[in-house]
Amino acid sequence: MSDTYADQRATPSEPPEVHGRSVGELIGEVSNDLSTLMRQELALAKAEVKAEATKTGKAAGMLGGAGFAGYMVALFASIALWWALANGMDEAWAALIVAALWTVVGAVLYSLGRSRLKTVHPKPERTVQTLKEVPDALKGN
């Protein structure tokens, strides 16, 4: 903290920069400061979103790889089950049983996914509400 800043804080009734300046100049300066602040906040938000998007992309790639590995496990486990069942019955019936099992799994996952999709709200309700309140807050209401 600089000494000048400490002096300004120590004597708030006489800020050295205000004397001899018009109200228009002060309002212009405040406007410039607000504009600078908004640009800096926007730049900070962009940097944070970019960093988070990069992390999200890497995580999504890893999850995609894990999904493919899971698919391969399910494929080879299905083939192994098919061969195991084929030891006691005809191969066609064994394949049909494995296919029926996967049909049940797919139907359950579809049903669960569809019901969860119905709970998704694409419009950000809280953000819309707070944006509606901004003009009133700026007016002082």
pLDDT tens across 44-64, in order? 888 888 888 899 999 999 999
For the chain, what is the domain count? Answer: 2
Lookup: tokens for 117:
């999709």
Do residues 5 and 66 both lie within one domain? yes
19 and 56 in a common domain:
yes
Residue 87 is encoded by which pair of tokens?
């030891």
Domain range for 45? 1-71
CA angle 116, 122, 124 (to 5 degrees): 120
Determine phi and psi for 15, rounding to 5 degrees: -65, 130
User: From CA 118, how far away is CA 125, in angstroms rounded?
Assistant: 16
The pLDDT of residue 57: 92
Read off the pTM. Answer: 0.50
| 18-32, 39-53, 93-107 — most confident range | 93-107
Q: Which residue type is seen at 45?
A: A
In the predicted model, is pLDDT for residue 39 greater than 90? no
